[in-house]
Amino acid sequence: MIIRDNSSITVYSGKETLRIEAWGNGIRVRAVPMGDIPETERGLLSSDNNNEVVVCEDHIENAGLRCEISNGHLCFVRVSDGKVLLEESTYPWALHRTAREYKTISGTNNFETHIYFKAQDEILHGMGQYRDALYDLKGCKVELAPRNSQISVPFLLSSAGYGFLWNDPAVGYASFANNETEWYAASTRCVDYWVTTGDTPAAVIGNYADVTGHASPLPESLYGLWQCKLRYRTQDELLEAAREYKKRGITPDVMVIDFFHWIYQGDWDFDPEYWYDPKAMVDELHSMGIRVMVSVWPTVDPRSRNYKELNDNGFLIRTERGLNAEMEFYGKMCFIDSTNPAARKFVYGLLKKNYGRYGIDMFWLDEAEPEYSVYDHDHYRQYIGSVLETANMYPRCHAQMLYDGQKEDNIPDILNLIRCAWVGSQQYGVLVWSGDIESTFREMKVQLRNGLNMGIAGIPWWISDTGGFYNGDINDPEFRELLVRWFQWAVYMPILRMHGDRMPNLGSLVTDTDHGGGFCPTGSPNELWSFGEDVYEILLKYLRVRENMKQYIKETSEETVRTGLPMMRAMFIEFPDENECYSLDDQYMFGSRYLVAPVTEYRASERRVYLPGGKWKDISTGETIVSDGKYITVSAPLDKIPVFERE
């Protein structure tokens, strides 16, 4: 049986129910092995559009894209030139295979699914952040699951001219092999994906933003330096750093209080022994023009004063069997269930009560994947279903917890730091950072690729820990050089933030307890002056560069909110007609004007840069170069990052 209306085709057969429908500037496909298509909360927003949709006997057209249907087989064609953009796989009858495969999970309404598409000659970008994947994802296999420093945002942008969203939060994988593309969900209620096309990569990214949400604004008051380290152990340590900044004529926009400023995880409050007067501390920082951010984890210790109420109300993620513990870190912890709207409201109320009374401005949502000590996804259950089915939704719901509460309280300039994201997270006032990463030049290269792919995947406010997070010795000349190179790069990120667990470790204040603000250790200093006078002078120089760019950052961030284009733009977004730009993974455009080429090699004094066609001004020398699309080698001493202004 086939049912058609003015925007969709639904095909009922003995083996599945298949629906193809116009959705925004694209086409959405949903399928189940039997029964009706369920309505589930996922990444796509309303299907509203003003397009003229064509529904015919064997195809549907919307926004320049046609989906052709032949015996259940789907083929996506660009209307303007008839080019096949994406096509489901076909197989010889003897193989007994189909492009959409289902395996029902016994005793449930869920099923495993594999969806297969024909491979083609294309370059693939997006999908979020993967530390072991290449910039061009063709040939890569990536896990669809959140982890510390891994962020799954399954939107794919192809050089063939289409965008593809895997609209499913289930744990799974995507494989972009040379013989076939495969999408796999380990437990789902509905196959669900969306395809779009456009004249340029920018148009495709814009279509994607329209159906998943545009980013919330990047507050103008936060464009300067954010000072952070692992960790200020006491109120006095934090104020000492802030006062020293002020003495040096520097005003950070934000000072950050990291984890274990509490007694027990899940208290979400200051340990009064080490943070003896938070109100006075915050008032002094505010008087300096500095905002205050605190780290709040979703972990709850059974000894916490909030554990019983959270547990009694069903506000914690649960295990399917055995003890209810999901993470071991200075104790066995549970996670709050941020997929539960009532839990979100309850926990936000605690944060408002325990931190809002002191005037705390912003929050840092660490551990937002959440970080299970053992990733047995089928062993955990949250409000919206088994974690195997819904894992990727958690970080977005966790961000929504703060954003909804802050909006209701009319808090201006909402921006909270978070360690993970999924489709649509950009709507909820988040600055995503890339997690706990190594302090190495190799990792810096990986992070540059990650930042570009995150922007393509729809998460424009993205940063990494400047200098990396761990194993960075402040007395090591190589690390000092790495920090300079990373800081120069961070000046051309959406937000400039210092953070890291620096060596040598300074230890804890007390050793005879396993809880409270004094037992957790800290690393060495991480302020701008902590790495020697020569390094300080370079960092100070680039801090001034950042300050002088604030008007440009404002204009570019507003463009990002309006269009969906990231601030850190892959070269091909601005130069789609230059083939070389699709593979460039070590330089990018900061907005439309500045070409940024970070130095990612130790002891490098020059680097190779590709200049697309046009006129480019080297901002350090003032020299103008006319290019028809060529590589040049530029000088890059330690106090210079190659940056070219597009004329």
Residues noted as catalytic: 366, 369, 436
Q: What is the DSSP string of 483-542?
A: HHHHHHHHTTSSSEEE--EEEEEEE-S-SS-SSSTTTS-EEE--STTTT-HHHHHHHHHH
Rg of the chain over Cα atoms, rounded to whole angstroms, equals: 25
DSSP string, 223-241: SSEEE--S---SHHHHHHH
Give CA separation, 248 vs 382, 494, 529, in Å: 49, 25, 10
Alpha-helical (H) ranges within 226-383 are 235-247, 278-287, 307-312, 341-354
Type of residue found at 410 = N
Cα 541 to Cα 534, 618, 642, distances in angstroms = 11, 17, 15
Q: Are 428 and 403 in contact (CB under 8 A)?
A: yes
Q: How many residues does the chain have?
A: 647
Output phi, psi for 540, to 5 deg.
-65, -40
Residue 425 three-state SS: helix
Own/partner pairs, 99-108, CB within 8 angstroms, 24+ separation: 99/73, 99/74, 100/16, 100/31, 100/72, 100/191, 102/16, 102/32, 102/33, 104/33, 105/187, 108/187
Beta strands in 353-400 (DSSP E): 362-365, 380-382, 385-386
- Preceding amide of 504 cis, omega within 30: yes
Q: Which amino acid is at 178?
A: N
